[in-house]
Copies of this chain bind each other. A is one copy, B any other.
Amino acid sequence: VPGARNGHDDLVVTEETPEAQRARNPRGQGDRLRVEILQAASRVLAELGGEQAVTLRGVARAAGIAPASMYQHFVDKAELIRGLVDYDFEELRAAMAEADAVRPATDVMGRLRAQLHAYSRFVLDNPGHYRLMLHNRRRTGTADDPRSMTAILAMVTDAFGRCERAGHRLRVAVDRAAVMVFVGTHGRVALYHSDPHDHDTERVLAFVDELIDLVFDE
């Protein structure tokens, strides 16, 4: 019956996506729903921005499942959020790694810029995700966990190290340069996030380049 509601016990307020009735996963594949849930959560966060917009019931709605079904994959809401943060860190890391890999290995400066540009684009395009990652990150403090800011910073530090070894002279130590540029990049995108006059991606990337120029000697 077209238009028939699947029986939620609460009204679906935003009728936008009627969400075709989900086909149940086959026997051994119960875990597939887990990533579908994370993708749904990611969509919800992107559309509504702000962690408080990510509710168990809202994500269930977006995934087209019953709220109770969440509990087969996440013990509680906090674990759902942690899962989402890990998912996002992996997306960011992958975007930076790909930007790096796509350039010739010898173009060390180009790879450095490309990584920082990928970082900027990710943050500009996903403000809600970025805020979530910032305020819910792991407490590890080591670069071991690839899902941490420390690991992202380590990628940038590596890129600076390659530049220095290739003969590009820095005005400060490698790790200081990396922190300065990374932190400056973050500051730029974060500070101007909600400013409607400043959503010009190109200007942000130009600022990042300006920062990079500042730490190199020449």
Contact = CB atoms under 8 A, between A and B. Distances in A.
A32 interface: no
Contacts of A134: 190-191, 193-194
Interface stretch (A21-29, A39-47, A179-187): A179-187
Interface string A168-195: 0001100010011011111110110111
A137 interface: yes
B183 A214 contact: no
A141 B183 contact: no
A152 to B, nearest CB: 10
In the complex, the count of this chain's copies comes to 2
Contacts of A196: 139, 141
Nearest to A148: B195
Contacts of A188: 183, 187
B184 A183 contact: yes
Contacts of A214: 171-172, 180, 214-215
A169 to B, nearest CB: 15
5 contacts: A135-B194, A141-B197, A183-B188, A187-B187, A190-B190
